[in-house]
Amino acid sequence: GIAVNDRGNITLHKSLGLVNEVFGDRILKAMPGQAAIGHVRYSTTGGNNLVNAQPISISHIKGNLALAHNGNLVNAPLLREEIELSGGVFHTTNDSEIIAYLIVRERLSAGSIEQAVLSTMKRLQGAYSIVILSPRKLIAVRDPSGFRPLCIGRLGSSYVFSSETCALDSIGANFVRDVRPGEMCVVEDGELRSYDSGVTAQRGLCVFEFVYFARPDSVIDGVPVETARQEMGRHLALSHPVEADIVIGVPDSGLSAALGYSRESGIPYGVGLIKNRYIGRTFIQPTQGQREKSVRIKLNALSAAVAGKRVIMVDDSIVRGTTCARIVSILREAGATEVHMRVSSPPYLHPCYFGTDVATADVLIAHNNTVENIRRIIGVDSLGYLPVEALQQMSADYKTDFCLGCFTGDYPVRVPEQTGKNRFERRIGQ
Task: Answer yes or no: is pLDDT of 45 > 80.
Answer: no
> Nearest-CA neighbor of 377 among 314, 429, 335, 322?
322
DSSP string, 281-344: -GGGSSSHHHHHHHHHHHEEE-HHHHTTSEEEEEES--SSSHHHHHHHHHHHHTT-SEEEEEES
pLDDT band per the 50, 70, 90 thresholds, residue 294: low
For residue 60, what pLDDT is reported? Answer: 84
Model confidence pLDDT, tens digit, residues 348-381 = 999 999 988 776 888 899 999 999 999 999 999 9
Model confidence pLDDT, tens digit, residues 252-274 = 989 999 999 999 999 999 999 99
Q: What average pLDDT score do residues 156-166 get?
A: 97
Model confidence pLDDT, tens digit, residues 190-215 = 999 999 999 999 999 999 999 999 99
Model confidence pLDDT, tens digit, residues 86-102 = 988 898 888 999 999 99
Q: What average pLDDT score do residues 399-412 get?
A: 96
Task: Answer yes or no: is pLDDT of 163 > 90.
Answer: yes
110 — phi, psi (to 5°)?
A: -80, 155
Model confidence pLDDT, tens digit, residues 8-36 = 999 999 999 889 999 999 999 999 999 99
CA-based torsion, 156, 157, 158, 164: positive or negative: positive
pLDDT band per the 50, 70, 90 thresholds, residue 41: confident
For residue 425, what pLDDT is reported? Answer: 45
The whole-angstrom separation of Cα 177 and Cα 72 is 24
**Residues sharing a CB contact under 8 Å with residue 420, sequence separation 6 or more, in sequence order:** 351, 353, 359, 360
Task: Answer yes or no: is pLDDT of 288 > 90.
Answer: no
